[in-house]
Structures are given as C-alpha cells and as structure tokens.
C-alpha cells in the first residue's frame, strides 16, 4: 500500500551502496524543501478522481487559464493501463498517488508519525494507565464500561492529534491493547461472577422455593440487601422437637448431627415444596413463613402452610419408622401455625443482614408450638384466625380457648388432623390428603 514518502533516513539506509548523487523524492524537489528524516505519510484527499484529471484528447481543448498556477503531472490514470496502487480509499493510479505526495509537500499537510522511541513510550504509558484503571473495576460490567471509555478516549485523542497537527498516533496498537486487556479481564471476572452466582443460587435454593427464588432474581430490589422492614401479613410456622435435649445427651456428636440433619431435611423439604420461606433453624426448632416476601393471598398461603405442616408430620412418621428399624426411640415434635400481621425485613449489621419477621404473630405461633406439650395426641395446633381463612376445608379438633403469653385475650386453639377431601378436591389441589377415617370429626 502507498502510505508515505520515504524520509532521508530511509534513503540513506537503502541507497548507501549506490554512488552519489542520490535521487530526491519528487514531491520535495517540486517544493524545494529539505527532506525530513522520518517518512511523511500520505494524506489522501479521497478516492480515485479527487484530484482534477484531464484526458489526453481534451488537453488542447482546455482553456489556457485552467492550467495557470497548477502543478501538472502527466501519466496514466485508467485502471486498464495498469500502475494501480492500493490506498486507504481503494486502488488509485501511480500518477494520482504522486499527485497526492506533491500536494502534501506543497501544502505542508503530510501525515506525521511519532518517532519510534516516543511511540514506544506512549504505548507503555497507555498500557500502564489502562491496566491501572481496569484493575480498579471489581465487576465485569464496570470493566467493560472502563474499556469502552478508554477506547473512546483513544479515538478522541487520535482525532485531536490528527485534526490539530496531522500527527498519526498508533491507534491500532492502542485500541487492540485496550480491547485485549479489558476483554481478558472482563472475561475472567465473568467466570468468577458466574461461579459466585451459582454458589449463591445454591445457598438460596436451600432457603426459598425455586418459584420464589426465580421471582426474587427477576425482581431483586432492596428486599434482601437493605436494612429495614415493612408491615405484611403471613402465616408463621414453628416446629420443635419434644424431649430432644434428654435424647441428645446419650448420642455421640456425629450421630446427633446426622439425626438432626436428616430431620431438618424433611422439615425444610416440606416448607420449600409449598413455596414457603425457611427463616431459621434454632437448635432443634424450625421457623418458616408463608406470604413473605411475596404473597399469593391469605387463603392460598394458609393452605400452603397447612399442607407443609401435614407433610412435616408425615415426614417425621417416616423417619420414626427408619429409627425403629435400627432400634432407636422415635422422635416427637410440635408444630404451631398462626396468621397475622408482622414486620418483615432485614435485621442485623451492615456486614451481615438476615431476612426475618418479628411481631406478636411470631410469638403466638411459637406459643402454639409450645402448647403441643399439653396435647401430645395433637402434634399440630392452629389458631382460630387461621381456621377462619379456610372454612370447611380442615379436619380439626377444638381444644378450647387458651391464654397465651404475650396475647391479650384467650385464643381459640384447634388440633389439625388433616384436610377435608371434598374441599381439597374442589380446589383442584394435587397435594390433598386421603379422606378422614370413618367417624372422624369434621
């Protein structure tokens, strides 16, 4: 490609073996200016035909004034006659390329380039600066933004030097270096962030149901990241093992943890299957909510909590059969369910937040769970408020009004035995239990 008029250094190097005088580039002969040491880049005016051309058969017919004050070159310009040179604007004849070189020399508008030492220094400083800015980006998104900003800065600098003094910067090296460095860093950060997201997804999936997790990830908001709370209605479930303290005293630590983890696996699966939120494990107790941070409506959340409690009881019965097979004593637990208003949000410090619920509804659910000790034949107790949400749907045993600590008036308590087959079927639920045994209370 025809790019530049050779400088004095190039001529000295390539014509050193030839006798003097050495030829002088025609562009500078016409201008009678000293030849610069460095090559002078060709500043093309445009594609072929940008310089005025007069065909040979029209020369005699051209007015005399047309030629006055012009530098005229004679030569072939049509592609059929050959002598075509590649240029940034496509093929041009050697005559046109020479005309561009002469025009540049006459006007002093040739393209300049940095000396090799300065160019190397510029590339080194740019690389250090670009890497410093990129290394300050902690995420792939920020790295890409910094990379785009650096590319824009390089393009702006290249345009400024070109417009201000026809100085050509090594833009290709600047841009390719920035894109390669920024792209490599961003790709590495993407891989790290992908692993972190997968790990966090795995952790969250152990606490919330897949459906709720997808909803949270689609609409994250500040609910999991900012301290504070808001009022909400939900069903609170408490479950606690009965007499486990004395039982654990006789078990080795490894067996105790194995048994607890097996129990918690069953309890957690029941909650997550109904799209509940596992709030926390407290010793051998489980706390869960249905209706926060997203609610499907009080009745639907109540149904989900009831199904989860019954599934927890079924899971414990299956676990007890396994324990009986190896000669271990059975486990008993109590479950309390209550619905009401809570304050839901993040509690803790800036370094560690925990999403939870607080309020009298939580206390009542905990007290109902504790009340199961007085009714060992009724491991699941629910409040009258919860029963009122599902009229005719639950198979319960009235246990009367009880005064609970922290509750202003006696609370109607019911033992939950199951769900009514007709009501569950009419709702189209695929989680309904078999119908109650003949003679069971409705």
Helix H segments across 166-288? Answer: 171-205, 210-218, 244-249, 253-273
Q: What is the pLDDT along the chain (442 residues), one digit of tens a residue?
A: 577 777 777 777 888 888 877 777 766 766 666 777 777 778 888 888 888 888 888 888 888 888 888 888 888 888 877 788 888 888 888 888 888 888 877 777 778 777 788 888 988 998 899 889 888 888 888 889 999 999 999 999 888 887 877 788 888 888 998 999 888 888 988 888 888 777 766 666 665 556 556 666 666 555 555 555 788 999 999 999 988 777 777 778 888 888 888 999 899 899 989 988 888 888 889 999 999 888 899 999 999 999 999 999 999 999 999 989 988 888 999 999 999 999 888 776 666 667 788 999 999 999 999 999 999 999 999 999 999 999 999 999 999 999 888 777 899 999 999 998 544 444 444 444 444 433 333 2
Q: How many Cβ atoms sit within 10 Å of the Cβ of residue 179?
A: 14
- List CB contacts of 82: < 8 A, sequence separation 6 or more: 76
Q: 3-class DSSP state for residue 213?
A: helix
Q: Which residues are within 8 A (CB) of 338 and not within 5 positions of it... i.e. 6 or more apart?
A: 235, 236, 361, 364, 365, 368, 382, 383, 385, 386
What does the pLDDT read at residue 223?
56
Domains defined for the chain, CATH in brackets: 4-113 (no CATH), 116-205 (no CATH), 225-426 (3.30.70.1230)
The pLDDT of residue 42 is 82
Least Cα distance to 10 among 93, 118, 106, 113 occurs for 113
Global confidence as pTM:
0.55
pLDDT given at position 270? 93
Locate the DSSP E strands across 212-363. 228-242, 277-282, 285-290, 332-349, 352-358
* DSSP character string of 20-40: SSPP--HHHHHHT-PPPSS-E
Dist. CA 252–CA 259, nearest whole Å: 11
Number of Cβ atoms within 10 Å of the Cβ of 219: 9
* E strand or H helix that includes residue 302: helix 298-325
């Amino acid at each position: 490609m025809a790019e530049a008029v050779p400088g004095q250094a190039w001529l000295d190097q390539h014509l050193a073996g030839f006798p003097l005088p050495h030829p002088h580039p025609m562009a500078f002969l016409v201008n009678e200016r000293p030849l610069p040491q460095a090559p002078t880049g060709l500043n093309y005016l445009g594609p072929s035909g940008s310089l005025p051309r007069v065909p040979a058969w029209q020369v005699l017919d051209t007015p005399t004034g047309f030629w006055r004050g012009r530098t005229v070159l004679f030569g072939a310009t049509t592609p059929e006659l050959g002598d075509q040179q590649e240029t940034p604007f496509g093929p041009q004849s050697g005559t046109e390329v020479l005309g561009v070189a002469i025009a540049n020399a006459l006007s002093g508008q040739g393209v300049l380039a940095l000396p090799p030492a300065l160019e190397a220094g510029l590339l080194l400083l740019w690389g250090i600066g670009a890497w410093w800015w990129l290394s300050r980006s902690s995420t792939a998104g920020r790295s890409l933004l910094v990379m785009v900003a650096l590319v824009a800065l390089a393009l702006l600098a290249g345009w400024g030097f070109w417009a201000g003094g026809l100085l050509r910067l090594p833009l290709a090296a600047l841009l390719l270096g920035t894109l390669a460095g920024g792209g490599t860093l961003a790709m590495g950060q993407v891989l790290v962030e992908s692993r972190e997201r997968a790990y966090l997804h795995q952790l969250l999936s152990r606490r919330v149901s897949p459906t709720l997790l997808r909803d949270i990830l689609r609409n994250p908001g500040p609910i999991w990241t900012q301290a504070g709370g808001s009022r909400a209605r939900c069903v609170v479930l408490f479950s606690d093992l009965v007499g486990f303290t004395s039982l654990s005293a006789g078990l080795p630590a490894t067996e105790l943890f194995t048994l607890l983890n097996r129990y918690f696996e069953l309890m957690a699966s029941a909650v997550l299957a109904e799209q509940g939120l596992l709030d926390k494990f407290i010793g051998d107790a489980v706390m869960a909510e249905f209706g926060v941070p997203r609610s499907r409506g009080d009745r639907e959340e109540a149904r989900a909590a009831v199904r989860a409690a019954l599934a927890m009881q079924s899971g414990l019965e299956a676990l007890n059969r396994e324990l009986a097979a190896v000669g271990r004593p059975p486990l008993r637990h109590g479950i309390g369910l209550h619905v009401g208003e809570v304050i839901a949000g993040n509690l803790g410090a800036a370094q560690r937040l925990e999403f939870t619920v607080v309020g009298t509804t939580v206390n009542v659910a905990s007290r109902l769970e504790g009340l199961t000790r007085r009714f060992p034949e009724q491991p699941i107790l629910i409040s009258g408020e919860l029963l009122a949400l599902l009229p005719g749907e639950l198979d319960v045993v009235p246990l009367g009004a009880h005064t609970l600590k922290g509750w202003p008036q006696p609370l109607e308590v019911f033992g939950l035995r199951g769900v009514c087959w007709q009501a569950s079927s009419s709702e189209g639920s695929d989680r309904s239990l078999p119908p109650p045994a003949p003679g069971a209370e409705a």
